[in-house]
Amino acid sequence: MRIPCPYCGPRDSSEFSYLGDAAPTRPDPAAPGAEDAFFDYVYLRDNPAGPLEELWFHASGCRQWLKVLRDTRTHLISGAVFARPKAEVAR
Amino acid sequence: MAETAANIMNVTDKPFVWTRPVAPGLHGTPGAPGVTALWRENLAFATLTVRRGQEAALALAAAREHAVSLPDGPFAAQGKGHQGKGFVCFGTGPGRWLACSEEATDLAGDLAATLGSTATVTAQDDAYVAFDLSGPCVPELLAKLVAIDLDPTVFPAGSVAVTSTAHMGLMLWKLDADRVRLLVGTSLAASFSRTLAASALEYGFRLEAGRGTGRG
Ligand SMILES: [Zn+2]
């Protein structure tokens, strides 16, 4: 698999580490029902057959988190963008 | 005298040989070497990381103080340092650059003096060892080491790739049409020299020891 890093260009997937579905967002621990919300956040994932937006970290390259669109049936990768807006990139 | 592949890679009677650097000289296929590597430890390095929200201010200061346009991608740009001593900096990630100089004695200090309020400047002089590669078989050698398209049409002189080879971090910098500079972590330099030799023996491999710093 080749991932088109927006900074480095096309790179082999071995340069990246994989986190998974990019959709879940961390709940507010102070909000009511936080315990249930955290259970869902930590354990529950959709398992779609088709395009899925995922988080990949370009560990051997620019050291940025990317959102990569991958088709779970074919491994076809149709795009990758920085996970955070450029002005807020993690250093 | 050229060493054979069996010679250079023979480990049977030499304990810990894998942690030792390849000896300077001609190795592998005899004759004119297809790959020559100059092992250099005399380059100054510094990393530059923009402070949050200071992108525009850093770009201005770099242009004003060093006549350099900080590259917004993995390629190199020339800058003028303290007392006219030149340096090159290239992008290693968004908001991060590595500066390298063959002339400056205190590159990090010079850059910190002018850019320190808009960027974090860190001395890396002992962090990297450079192998400057030249010779007709460098493209074939690099095809074995990295999975990156290095054709001149997409990777012209001044291009840089931060990547890895044989599980070792590697920065590949195309200095000009004929030379490629590889930067590896100093602590991995001996191991990397063996990877380099093993890959280049078939072309004839010449290793030249450049001036060392005497450090580390
Ligand atoms: Zn990257």
Taking only the tens place, the pLDDT of each residue in B20-33 is 889 899 999 999 99
Reduce the DSSP state of residue B141 to 3 states and report it.
helix
pLDDT of the residue at A85: 73
CA A45 vs CA A17, A25, A41, A42: distances in Å: 19, 12, 8, 8
Look at B163 and A62 and tell me if their CB atoms are within 8 Å.
no
pLDDT per residue as tens digits for the range A5-18: 999 999 999 999 99
Residue that has been written with the tokens 């149709």 in this structure? A78
Residue of A nearest to B172 (CA): A61
pLDDT tens by residue, B82-104: 888 899 999 999 999 999 999 88
Q: Which CATH number fits domain B44-123: 2.60.40.1510, 3.30.70.1520, 3.40.50.720, 3.30.70.360?
A: 3.30.70.1520
The pLDDT value recorded for residue B111 is: 96
B146 contact residues in A (CB cutoff 8 A):
none
Return d(Cα B185, Cα B129) in angstroms, integer. 6
Helical residues (DSSP H) of chain A, grouped into ranges: 34-43
CA–CA separation, B94 vs B175, rounded Å?
22
What residue of B is the nearest CA neighbor of A12?
B147
Inter-chain touch B163–A11, beta carbons under 8 Å: yes
- Cα(B137)–Cα(B200) distance, rounded to whole angstroms? 8
Among chain B residues, the shortest Cα distance to A88 is held by B52
In this prediction, residues A31-45 reach a mean pLDDT of: 96
Q: If you search the block for the tokens 């060392």, which residue do you land on?
A: B212
Q: Check residue B215 and give its pLDDT.
A: 43
In chain A, residues with a C-beta closer than 8 Å to the C-beta of B93 are 7, 61-64, 89
Report the C-alpha gap between B149 and B127 in whole angstroms. Answer: 27
Cα-Cα end-to-end distance for chain A: 26
pTM to 2 decimal places: 0.90
Query: B18: pLDDT confidence band, cut at 50, 70 and 90?
Result: low
Whole-number Å distance between alpha carbons of B45 and B107: 7
Average pLDDT for B108-113: 96
Distance from CA of B64 to the nearest CA of A (A): 22
Taking contacts as CB-CB distances below 8 angstroms, the residues of chain B near A12 are 147
User: Can you give the residue ranges of every domain in chain B?
Assistant: 9-41+127-209, 44-123
- Domain extent listing, chain A: 1-22+49-85
- A1-22+49-85: CATH, from 3.40.1360.10, 3.50.50.60, 3.40.718.10, 3.30.2270.10: 3.30.2270.10
Give dist(CA B112, CA B132) in Å, integer. Answer: 28
d(CA B174, CA B171): 10
| Spatial distance between the Cα atoms of A18 and A3, rounded to a whole number of angstroms | 12
Residue from the list A61, A63, A82 with its beta carbon closest to the beta carbon of B163? A61
For residue A43, the distance in angstroms to the closest alpha carbon of chain B comes to 32
The token pair that represents B93 in the structure block: 């990630």
State ipTM.
Answer: 0.88
Mutation pick from A7, A11, A58, A84 vs chain B, by most beta carbons of B within 10 Å, is: A7
CA atoms within 13 A on the CB side of A3: 32
How many angstroms separate the alpha carbon of residue A3 from the centre of ligand 1?
Answer: 9
Q: Please tell me what DSSP assigns to residue B172.
A: E
Which helix (H) or strand (E) is B194 found in, with range? helix B189-200
- The helix (run of H) or strand (run of E) holding residue A56 is strand A51-57
Percentage of residues in chain B having pLDDT higher than 70:
88
Q: With CB atoms and an 8 Å threshold, state whether B93 touches A63.
A: yes
Q: Do B149 and A10 touch (CB under 8 A)?
A: yes
Q: Which residues surround ligand 1, an ion (CB under 5 A)?
A: A 5, 7-8, 58, 61-62
Average per-residue pLDDT in chain B? Answer: 90
CB pairs under 8 A between A and B: 46
Q: B7 or A22: whose pLDDT is higher?
A: A22
Q: Which regions of chain B does DSSP assign to beta strands (E)?
A: 25-27, 35-40, 44-50, 76-80, 86-93, 96-101, 119-123, 128-134, 160-165, 168-174, 180-185, 205-209
Cβ A62–B93 below 8 Å, yes or no? yes
CATH 3.30.1360.120 fits domain B9-41+127-209: yes
Percent of chain B at pLDDT > 90 equals: 81
Of B127 and B12, the structure prediction assigns the larger pLDDT to: B127
